[in-house]
Amino acid sequence: MKKKVFACLLAALMLLSVVACAKPATTEPVVEATKEPVVTAAPTKEPTAAPTAEPTPEPEPEPKDIVILYTNDVHCGVDVSASCIGYEGVARIKSALEAAGKEVILVDCGDAIQGDVIGSFSKGENIIKIMNDLEYDVSGVGNHEFDYGMDQFMKNVADAKFTYVSCNFADKDGNPILDPYIILEKAGKKIAFVGVATPETYYTSTPTYFQNADRTEYIYSFSEGDNGQKLYDVVQSSVDAARAEGADYVVVLSHLGTDASSVPYTSSDLIVNTSGIDVVLDGHSHSVLEGNSVKNKEGKTVIQTSTGTKLANVGCLTITPEGKMSTMLINKGAVNFATMAGGLTDDAGVAEKIAAVKAGYKDAVSVVVAHTDVDLVVNDPTPDENGKPIRIVRRMETNLGDLCADAYRNLGKTDVAFVNGGGVRDTILKGDITLEQIIKVHPFGNVFTVVKTSGQHILDALEMGASRLPGENGGFLQVSGLKYTIDLNVDSHVVKNEKGEFVTVDGERRVKDVQILQADGSYLPIDPEGTYTLASHDYMLKNGGDGFVMFMKDEFVQLDSYVPDNEVLISFIRDALGGSVGADYVDPYGQGRITIIPKE
């Protein structure tokens, strides 16, 4: 479609928003040259030459809106779908804005490279390539950027044609690993982008990735500790430096989130404890915030915004020539996307490039490996009042959580098995199950692991997993071989260190009535002094993931082979269940292993 159509479509889009992407143009008056030069008599016989007329100044460039498109927590959600715009949609929106004369900057707030096959098959490299094609300018760092190890993280950073920024990711001496910020100039204005990674990265990625080779000390820092003050101070220092360097606006690319369980490291905490920030583009908690107003430490308003996850929305921050700032979220409810997809040009050829990448592994992941007669869920079968899915696998038992935990216990022939809710990523609908679906459930490539541990360590782990309820917790434990009760009328008394690792329980426990399944199908109370075999994966048992450090010094049972988490699940369905998940898992809320007493 021609530029006229681009403009029409863009106009329709902007009418749906609070963003004024078209402003009356203003120019400085042009100073005309004198029509006839003045001639001055010379004291000599030869006349002096007439002075040259002053040249006509070039007109000032037409003021333009600066539009910052922002994404966060894409988690490999590359495709256009019924509810998501996809990277192709990002390309088309960017193209439309540029065709309408806007100065466009494209940024991301982290967690782009992990979450589906297209990322895990390439350790994030495919996503970096797509972001390069889209001509991203800057990205913050999410905790899942580290999921493929530090060496791969640094390779992905080097391969990126855009700039990764983080002011608080540093070595043990406090030296930043990446640029703390970058200043880009558009329409005569300097915009600083300051990166902030969550200190929760320690335990929401893999803790040992941030330690030395002997795993005896942490050699990387995220400005954790001092009740958040270390983080605020590091960010303030970068903001002040950017202002001193001439930044007209400071935009933070934050991967902090808004969950209450993340206090004091939320984006709101950051805003109220700093000054000089204009906008915080946020990620991590998958929150949908079109544009909150939060007061900073000086009482000035800062915009706080976040797009959710998997490109259900694309954010649009507009800065007018007069300095007015406003935000909107572009989604399929706000855009006639069918018309846009048919009319606007995908200048970067993103759709074709994504298809080409997928073609490289399509045959391998399309193989049917099992079957299920029931839907296996991570979300509540009943959506919220707005029709949005409610993720429950991180706060209560689900049938898929049961299935995954059973797979670990079956393979290890252990007393107990744990699977963290954050490691169970996607629903499997009834029907044939492909390898791709299994990888979507377990995309991390964690390795099957067994330890001999004490009953007390099991009790501590269950308490740790329940510590954030009723809120979400990636460390919430789906279990096999035991059952237990969580009483939400008891506040959590779990004590963690500054890196989010378990230390102790200082008070009444909310986890009660823990019972171990016996060979005859009966249950007996757990013995804190007893010894039990526990199956899970290396992320939790060897690497202290989600803060579960209590198992790291336990006796590890040596295994004969390397078994990744997705193969654990495949082999259980194929070998133990005869190739099909049946009626034992029909209840989406599981088999009654976890009882939660609600707060009165």
Distance of CA 173 to the CA centre of its chain: 27
66-358 shares its CATH topology with 368-597: no
Instruction: Give the pLDDT of residue 418.
Output: 97
Q: What is the CATH number of domain 368-597?
A: 3.90.780.10
Instruction: Give the pLDDT of residue 56.
Output: 64
Distance of CA 171 to the CA centre of its chain: 22
Secondary structure, 3-state, 194-252: EEEECCCHHHHCCHHHHECCCCCCECEECCCCHHHHHHHHHHHHHHHHHHHCCCCEEEE
Residue ranges per domain, the chain?
A: 66-358, 368-597
**CB burial string 563-590: b at 16+ within 10 A, e below:** bbbbbbbbbbbeeebeeebeeebeebbb
Instruction: Give the pLDDT of residue 434.
Output: 95
Contact criterion met (CB below 8 Å) for 170 and 177: yes
Instruction: Give the pLDDT of residue 46.
Output: 45
Question: 293: which residues sit within 8 A by CB, 6+ positions away?
Answer: 301, 302, 303, 304
pLDDT cut 70: percent of the chain above it: 86
CA 179/CA 181 separation, integer angstroms: 5
Q: Locate tokens 């050829």: which residue?
A: 349
Closest CA to 334 of 322, 355, 352, 316: 316
Instruction: Give the pLDDT of residue 447.
Output: 85
Instruction: Give the pLDDT of residue 210.
Output: 92
Instruction: Write the DSSP assignment of 40-74 as a string of letters.
Output: ---SSSSPPPPPPPPPPPPPPPPP--EEEEEE---
Instruction: Give the pLDDT of residue 291.
Output: 94
Helix %, strand %, coil % of the chain (to 5): 30, 25, 45
Q: What is the pTM of this model?
A: 0.74
Question: 36: which residues sit within 8 A by CB, 6+ positions away?
Answer: none
Instruction: Give the pLDDT of residue 25.
Output: 33
- The residues pairing with 183 across neighbouring beta strands, listed in sequence order, are 192
Q: What is the pLDDT of residues 93-147, one digit of tens each?
A: 998 899 889 999 999 999 999 888 888 888 999 999 999 999 999 999 999 999 8
Secondary structure, 3-state, 332-399: CCCCCHHHHHHHCCCCCCHHHHHHHHHHCCHHHHCCEEEEECCCECCECCCCCCCCCCCECCCCCCCH
**CATH match of 66-358 with 3.60.21.10:** yes
In a 13 Å sphere around the CA of 239, the CA atoms on its Cβ side amount to 22
Instruction: Give the pLDDT of residue 82.
Output: 80
DSSP at 131: H
Tally of CB atoms within 10 A around 244: 8
- What are 397's two structure tokens? 């038992």
Q: Determine the length of the chain.
A: 600
- The residues pairing with 516 across neighbouring beta strands, listed in sequence order, are 482, 524
CA 13/CA 21 separation, integer angstroms: 10
Give the containing element (helix H, strand E) for 453: strand 448-454
**Exposed / middle / buried, residue 34 (Cβ in 10 Å: 0-12, 13-18, 19+):** exposed
Tens-of-pLDDT digits for all 600 residues of the chain? 444 433 444 444 443 343 333 333 333 322 233 333 333 333 344 444 455 556 666 666 678 899 999 999 999 999 888 888 999 999 989 988 998 899 999 999 999 998 888 888 889 999 999 999 999 999 999 999 998 899 999 999 999 999 999 999 999 899 999 999 999 999 999 999 999 999 999 888 888 899 998 888 999 999 999 999 999 999 999 999 999 999 999 999 999 999 888 999 999 999 999 999 999 999 999 999 999 999 999 999 999 999 999 999 999 999 999 999 999 999 887 655 555 545 556 666 888 889 998 888 888 889 999 999 999 999 999 988 888 889 999 999 999 999 999 999 998 999 999 999 999 999 999 999 999 999 999 988 888 999 999 999 999 999 999 999 999 999 999 999 999 999 999 999 999 998 899 999 999 999 999 999 999 999 999 999 999 999 999 899 988 999 999 999 899 885 545 688 888 999 999 999 999 999 999 999 999 999 999 999
Instruction: Give the pLDDT of residue 150.
Output: 94
CA 253/CA 251 separation, integer angstroms: 7
Per DSSP, the three-state class of 588 is: coil
Q: Locate tokens 């590890």: which residue?
A: 556
Backbone dihedral angles phi then psi of residue 403, each to the nearest 5 degrees: -60, -45
Q: What is the pLDDT of residues 419-466, one digit of tens each?
A: 999 999 999 999 999 999 999 999 888 889 999 999 999 999 999 999
